[in-house]
Amino acid sequence: MPELPEVETIRAQLAPRLVGRRVTGIEIRDPLLVEPADPARVVSALQGRRIEAVERRGKYLLCALDSGATLALHLRMTGRLHWRAGEPAPGEERFLRALVRLDDGATVSFGDQRRFGRMRVVPAGTDPAEYWAGRLGIEPLGDAFTARRLAELMAGRAAAIKTVLLDQSLIAGLGNMYADEALFAARVHPARPAGSLSDAEYRALHRAIRKRLRVAIAAGGASIDSYRDGLGQPGRMQELLLVHRRAGEPCPRCGTIILKRTLGQRATYWCPRCQPDPAGGPAHAGTPEGTRRDHEGVSR
């Protein structure tokens, strides 16, 4: 699923191809895609406009227009953006929701199998991310995100650290996959109360978050399910994942079998030896209950 590294990969590919181009046409094929539900408004806001910048905030992609307005997109679960030098071949895009045409003959398609993705036009003079999301947290790769800041954000929270890492109003851009990866790299059990880590653990987690995100960006994102980059190509990060979607496989660090459980409505993967649960009972292999159905370790 597109998280920060996947959106950043797409942004980096689209920016040089879109900036300076003018929109010559836009087709909204799925009214559900636009918010508020008024496709005509999106069309009129885009038609004839020149794209001045393509940026990212959290998991949002932001296209600044010469009108001062911004086209904001969120891919959610299965959204894809695909730039092509020309028109997509008939039938090439199976779940096409929208198509944008540019003045150099290129097109950008928005495909989305599950129709959770959204786009909206943010009026001039408004912070696009704030306008849409209400409040977005700190950029985990920005300079302002320090270990101390992370500790402050987590302070006093009793909810599981994994769940809190997914809260976009605190840190913007982490999703289920990279939360698992960062916690493993930092050797922190995902169910630990968010405010209960030691200073050393917050430092390790801070480092791990940035490291895993950077590795993922360098690898062009993770094509676990339907993710493709801005040119339709799969990423390589799925091969570099440490624990996520690897239940039943050996831990890359110690060889212990990786476990899976549901935490906060989300599948969660961890190594019971590298990430011991201080509060929770037997973190050893052979835990009597709750692990019986955790044997689907088929990925790749």
Residues with active-site annotation: 2-3, 59, 266
Q: What is the DSSP letter of 113?
A: S
Contact between 203 and DNA by CB under 7 A: the answer reads no
Between 77 and 283, CB nearer to DNA: 77
Closer residue to DNA in complex, CB, 265/281: 265
Size of the site for DNA (CB under 7 A): 39
Is residue 91 close enough to count as binding DNA by CB under 7 A? no
Tokens of 109: 């398609």
Helix (H, G, I), strand (E, B) or coil at 177: helix
Per-residue binding string, DNA, 237-276, x by CB under 7 A, is -------xx----------------x-xxxx---------
Q: What residue has token string 């169910």?
A: 191
Q: Which of 22, 157, 187, 211 binds DNA (CB under 7 A)?
A: 157
Q: Minimal distance in Å, beta carbon 87 to DNA? A: 23
**Is there binding between residue 166 and DNA (CB under 7 A)?**
yes
Nearer of residues 74 and 192 to DNA, judged by Cβ: 74
Question: What is the four-CA torsion angle of 215, 219, 225, 229, rounded to 10 degrees?
Answer: 130
Q: Verify binding: residue 88, DNA, rule CB under 7 A.
A: no
Site membership for DNA, residue 9 (CB under 7 A) = no
Q: Cis omega (within 30 of 0) on the bond before 278?
A: no
C-beta of residue 163 within 8 angstroms of C-beta of residue 180: no
230 part of the interface to DNA, by CB under 7 A: no
Beta-carbon contacts of 119 under 8 Å, excluding residues fewer than 6 positions away, are: 33, 34, 35, 42, 71, 72, 73, 74, 98, 110
Helix boundaries (H) for the chain: 4-18, 39-46, 128-133, 147-154, 161-165, 176-185, 199-218
Q: Lay out the site mask for DNA across 41-80 (x = CB under 7 A, - = otherwise).
A: -----------------xxx-------------x-xx---
If binding is defined by CB under 7 A, does position 84 make contact with DNA? no
Considering only CA atoms, which of 140, 8, 139 is closest in space to residue 61?
Answer: 8
134 makes contact with DNA (CB under 7 A): yes
By CB under 7 A, residue 96 contacts DNA: no
The contacts found for 153-158 with CB under 8 angstroms, 24 or more apart, are 154/194, 154/195, 154/197, 154/202, 155/195, 156/195, 157/193, 157/194, 157/195, 158/193, 158/194, 158/195
Nearer to DNA, 1 or 23 (CB): 1
Lookup result for tokens 């045409």? 101
Q: Which two tokens stand for residue 251?
A: 């831990």
111 lines the binding site for DNA (CB under 7 A): no
Residues that bind DNA (CB under 7 A): 1-3, 32, 58-60, 74, 76-77, 95, 113-116, 132-134, 157-160, 163-164, 166, 168, 175-177, 194, 244-245, 262, 264-267, 293, 298
